[in-house]
Chains A and B, each alone.
Chain A
Amino acid sequence: MTDAGDAVARLVREERARVLATLIRVTGSVDLAEDATQDAVVRALETWPRDGVPDNPRAWLLVAAKRQAIDHIRREGRRAGKEAAAMDLVDPADEPPEVVRDDLLRLVFTCCHPFLSLDAQVALALRTLAGLSTAEVARGLMVPEATMAKRLTRAKQKIAKAGIPYRVPAAEELPDRLAGVATTVYLIFNEGYADISRSGLAAEAVRLGRVLAELMPDEPTVLGLLALMLLQESRRAARVIDGAPVLLADQDRSLWDARAIKEGVELVGVALRRSPDRPDRYAVQAAIAACHALSLSYAETNWDAVVSWYDVLLTVHDTPVVRLNRAVAVAERDGAAAGLALVDAIPDLEAYPWWHASRAELLNRLGDKDSARAAYERALASGLNEPTAEHLRRRLEDLG
């Protein structure tokens, strides 16, 4: 595709979710709105590169999609009520910007509604908000396409038939709801982050994070989440070399994305300032990522700052994994023995490969090669993706 074609495709993609959101409101049907929006998108991709991009691309897409929806309703010969509803659509009055904004927000909160299973939330968010095809979602989440199609159908059916409301939650409901939305977006991000072959999912999650930040510019959770994803993504080029993961300590920091770091660090500041009483957990995790991002080398990392941020994180999000990460930072600051004592004191991580791997690393530093070897073997036996397992096998061999 030409550069102009690329630009059009990007523009269409960015407007797609907004148009879809509005159309779901006016038609009351996710399926109908999806079909109509898809038709409008195809039409735009055919005509815009040839005739030029219209002055108001979103309005153009909305008009085209509404016409498609009306045609569709007529073709199907639906009930009188629906027919009447279609008449309202004929004149696509200009939507004020805040209505469009709220439509999209409604769509985000409907896709990530707590009444849907987390699986369904992630699938629906990818399909509807990110605009991936069912096949792409299936590939991204490593589920057979037929399973994914069934999962999506079931989710849409529940939204329609069980009456999951298509509305922006009231202010007092937001904190709870937003937590689910943030979890969904971050889960999508992690799917792409953990497996480099699916890095497209991480990019989609960042895009969703940007949409959320645009819609809710004052929410510390949203700003913190976007900051965290940007700072983690900034290391993408350095994280994997020739298919093998590279540890933070060994990464070539000149490959880090300086622009993403700058944006992420600024967002962390805003997010933390907006939640002075009880810091948001994503913002605190982003602050930890920022400590690494701003350090010129691994050796120069400010471990004092990292450990204190972990202390803050424990006050809002105390999990065994957070305790493990804190222990690793303490090991860097106070030595392997101090770190190992903390790692050993964390309960419930027997099944977590990184607990064993961290123990192995620290035992090795303390010169206890036999225990280190055993710990590496435990880590390898707990199920890891292949590049990571390969990395641990090499560490094991280095032990001799």
Chain B
Amino acid sequence: MTTYLALIYNKDMDWHQSAPVEMNEEYSEFGRAAAAVIRGGNALYPTSTATTVRVTGGKGGDVLTTDGPYAETKEALTGYYLLECADLEEAVKTAAQIPAAWNGGAIEIRPVVQFA
């Protein structure tokens, strides 16, 4: 089994405030349908709440923060799931059921490295 992180990219939105009821329902439905492989996951507050941290001048150096996400793109990281699947085919099949996949967004799937 491999653990996959399914990153949900979609138009930036505030789930907490503004997610339409039907979309929340769709996600609940996904949660039930994929319960067997979901190991975790959450929605994220919009990128307006993001802070990006860098340290300059090596370890212990100056902490530099910028307001906003690491990369400014039209589609933002809006949430994620951790999925444990037999292989990439199962992970893709599962990700295809995440509502953002057909609501104008896309899901990026990456295997998670298992440090022994």
A162 and B89 contacting across the interface, CB-CB below 8 Å: no
* Chain B contacts for A165, CB-based, 8 A: 86-89
Determine the residue in chain B with the shortest Cβ distance to A165: B87
Determine if B24 is an interface residue (Cβ-Cβ < 8 Å).
Answer: no
Question: Least Cβ distance of B110 to chain A in Å?
Answer: 8
Among candidates B86, B89, B111, residue contacting A161 with C-beta atoms closer than 8 Å = B111
How does the 8 Å CB contact mask read for B28-65 relative to A, with 1 for contact and 0 for none?
Answer: 00000000000000000000000000000000000000
**B:49-102 near A, CB below 8 Å:** 85-89, 91-92
Interface of chain B: mostly helix, strand, loop or mixed: mixed
Interface size on B, residues (CB 8 A): 11
* Chain B contacts for A162, CB-based, 8 A: 2, 88, 109-111
A164 and B111 contacting across the interface, CB-CB below 8 Å: no
* Chain B contacts for A163, CB-based, 8 A: 2, 85-88, 91, 111
Determine the residue in chain B with the shortest Cβ distance to A164: B88
Determine if A298 is an interface residue (Cβ-Cβ < 8 Å).
Answer: no
Q: In the complex, A115 Cα to B91 Cα: how many Å? A: 12
Interface size class of A (residues with CB under 8 A): under 10
Question: Least Cβ distance of B1 to chain A in Å?
Answer: 9
* Chain A contacts for B111, CB-based, 8 A: 161-163
Q: In the complex, A161 Cα to B113 Cα: how many Å? A: 8
How does the 8 Å CB contact mask read for A155-177 relative to B, with 1 for contact and 0 for none?
Answer: 00000011111000000000000
Determine the residue in chain A with the shortest Cβ distance to B109: A162
* Chain A contacts for B92, CB-based, 8 A: 115
Q: In the complex, A163 Cα to B92 Cα: how many Å? A: 11
Q: In the complex, A165 Cα to B93 Cα: how many Å? A: 13
Q: In the complex, A164 Cα to B85 Cα: how many Å? A: 11
Q: In the complex, A163 Cα to B85 Cα: how many Å? A: 9
* Chain B contacts for A115, CB-based, 8 A: 88-89, 92
* Chain A contacts for B2, CB-based, 8 A: 162-163
Q: In the complex, A161 Cα to B110 Cα: how many Å? A: 9
| 19 A-B pairs (CB sep. < 8 Å) | A115-B89, A115-B92, A161-B111, A162-B2, A162-B109, A162-B110, A162-B111, A163-B2, A163-B85, A163-B87, A163-B88, A163-B91, A163-B111, A164-B88, A164-B89, A165-B86, A165-B87, A165-B88, A165-B89
* Ranked 7 nearest A-B pairs via Cβ: A165-B87, A163-B87, A163-B2, A163-B88, A162-B111, A162-B88, A164-B88
Task: Known pairs A115-B89, A162-B2, A165-B88; list 6 more (Cβ under 8 Å).
Answer: A115-B88, A162-B88, A162-B110, A163-B111, A164-B87, A165-B89
